[in-house]
Amino acid sequence: LAVEESRLKIPLLVGADVIHGYETIFPIPLALSCSWDTLAVERMARISAIEASADGINWTFSPMVDICRDARWGRIAEGSGEDPYLGSLMAKAYVRGYQGNNMQGNDEILACVKHFALYGASESGRDYNVVDMSCLRMYNEYLAPYKAAVDAGVGSVMSSFNIVDGIPATANKWLLTDLLRDEWGFGGLLVTDYNSIAEMSSHGVAPLKEASIRALQAGTDMDMVSCGFLNTLEESLKEGKVTEEQINAACRRVLEAKYKLGLFSDPYKYCDTLRTREKLYTAEHRSSARTIATETFVLLKNDHHLLPLDIKGKIALIGPMADARNNMCGMWSMTCTPSRHGTLLEGIRSAAGDKAEILYAKGSNIYYDAETEKAATGIRPLERGDNRQLLDEALRIAARADVIVAALGECAEMSGESVSRTNLEIPDAQQDLLKALVKTGKPVVLLLFTGRPLVLNWEATNVHSILNVWFGGSETGDAVADVLFGKVAPSGKLTTTFPRSVGQLPLFYNHLNTGRPDPDNRIFNRYASNYLDESNEPLYPFGYGLSYTDFVYSDLQISSETLPKNGELTVSVTVTNKGNYDGYETVQLYLRDIYAEIARPVKELKGFKRIFLKSGESRDINFVITENDLKFYNSGLEYIYEPGEFDVMVGSNSRDVQTKRFRAE
């Protein structure tokens, strides 16, 4: 209709939330980041673009690159974790995958980086809440992934719901024009988030008409849904409150986005029904989704090498997530067809074949309370049973088994937009089920489904093995079976810190030190910066993740104790696979600026390498450090480095590192 019957025959942008897949669903973005594999993330985005474009979509509202350090915030599931360096690399990978080379192909779509800016720092971890932070923190800790996406050529940016420095981002001229357009050089389309112009009234900033004026003048090009632009700008133009030039500039950028997609040359390039039949949920795409999912699983605990399981005897699969077909993909997966996807139970039974008997019981509801569960499951409800009967059945099944696999945690709609939580433990009914299973004395493996870090103190103490499988997408069942039975060794590393208590939040590895740090990191050291009732230390730190094999780090060396001006310094470490399995390891490099004009983090990720080592194999891993790795924004927001002493740390995670010191001239 737009092309054939409208006055100007301008083609449409057709947008959708293609966040981690379209028909073939990949792991949630937080899980994808735990692969530390930017090529895998780019491959995911490429397949997503191929499938979405084949079904008529030419614009995705992805990637979400908000740095988040507070697991209470549900949308932590949509991003790449807490680190700006890793988040920046992931942002570029998403943009490359969605947009391809130049967006001229019929399988390349317009990416939209969001939410600009600082949305992941919402106060109290409560969605849509206020954000208040210094410019120093913005520049040094939060803005980098947005800028990385801009540098990668992202075609559109979505402003965020939250306030930035007292002004809603939707109408913040400093943010949208001075920083994004003038300082960073972004020339693409700037769209609001859903209804955010109208919501400026609730912020107490302006009614709809004035809010629309302020949004346009701040640099907004497109108003999503609120109709403020549509219904008020004409009158504001007549009153002289906005100019024709301002409206033209916004229209021009919308038209340029369509031009970059090639829609004026071929308005029907995304309307090929043959591609719809041929490109959705293909065997190749499903194979990629399965492989990538295995890279995202994080082994948190594995006492006595319980995992991988031998395919023999009787294995009890128990828990409400074991046969929950509509919950495997996680949030933002509305475009797929869940009936086409396998369940965890089906995947494990398929892998076991006739070599082992797979017993099954649901075991519990998500929550004891039906209304709480209804709110938690949202659009993906699960059939409920009687709490007592479910537990009794689970214990009967467990009694027959040699080993118990418990599939527990969050359901799909418990993380994502508008699902902040104050209690981050496994829900009550499931926790009681797990305790009852452990009490049987049988070996217990916890398969943890979650879209955020959870508080797992009891589980970490009492359960033999914990494999965090997040929400693994449409191929979850087969992918989990691949790892559970040792076809693939787990290699995921956390990109977000797991706390011991909600009271520690926000919690992140790259924090600043205080004047009174706790040297022992123990519970309560009077007159030190700590807690009366809990350690400062996380349960599982950033970068953490075990394997079925054992990687040993040795012989950390630096090529010189001095980094000359305009020069470089090489860091090397030997990594040896001393276990019995082949596997991937992510070698991580961190830096610390000992003294600077402003306080600097205790450590910052500045490099990593994902390597594959066969059992018994050793390899020397090298990193090159230059002045750019030492730079930060000083009190005048100048991007500089300062000569002085630095610690370089290399290890398997942010806590377990070896350290050397050098001086930069």
The residues carrying an active-site annotation are 193
Q: Is 63 exposed, middle or buried (0-12, 13-18, 19+ CB in 10 A)?
A: buried
* Whole-number Å distance between alpha carbons of 126 and 76: 11
- Alpha-carbon distance of 600 to 140, in angstroms, equals 10
Which burial class, exposed, middle or buried, applies to 563 when counting CB atoms under 10 A from its CB (0-12, 13-18, 19+)? buried
Specify the DSSP element, H or E, that contains 465: strand 465-468
For the record, the structure tokens of 308 come out as 């991988």
Task: Report the alpha-carbon distance of residue 612 to residue 589 in Å, rounded.
Answer: 17
CA within 13 Å, CB half, 471: 32
DSSP-derived secondary structure letter, 143: S
User: Which of 465, 484, 442, 539 has its CA nearest to residue 303?
Assistant: 465
Are the CB atoms for 28 and 40 separated by under 8 Å? no
Distance CA 149, CA 220 (A): 18
Q: CA dihedral in degrees (605, 606, 612, 618; nearest 10)?
A: -100
The answer to whether the beta carbons of residues 236 and 229 sit under 8 Å apart is no
Specify burial of residue 476 (Cβ count, 10 A radius: 0-12, 13-18, 19+). Answer: buried
Rounded-to-integer distance, Cα 628 and Cα 642, Å: 11
Q: What is the CA radius of gyration of the chain?
A: 25
Report the alpha-carbon angle 38-485-401, nearest 5.
Answer: 140
List own/partner pairs for 228-235 with CB under 8 A and 24 or more apart. Answer: 228/197, 228/198, 229/197, 232/208, 235/209
What is the residue type of 475?
E
The residue type of 537 is E
- In the sheet with 568-577, reading across from the earlier edge strand, the strands are 551-558, 568-577, 618-626
Task: Provide the 8-state DSSP code for 555.
Answer: E
What is the phi/psi pair of residue 63, to 5°?
-90, 155
CB atoms within 10 A of CB 486: 15
CB 424 within 8 Å of CB 455: yes
Q: Which two tokens stand for residue 638?
A: 């100048």
CA 498/CA 598 separation, integer angstroms: 28
| Cα–Cα–Cα angle for 445, 450, 451, rounded to 5 degrees | 155
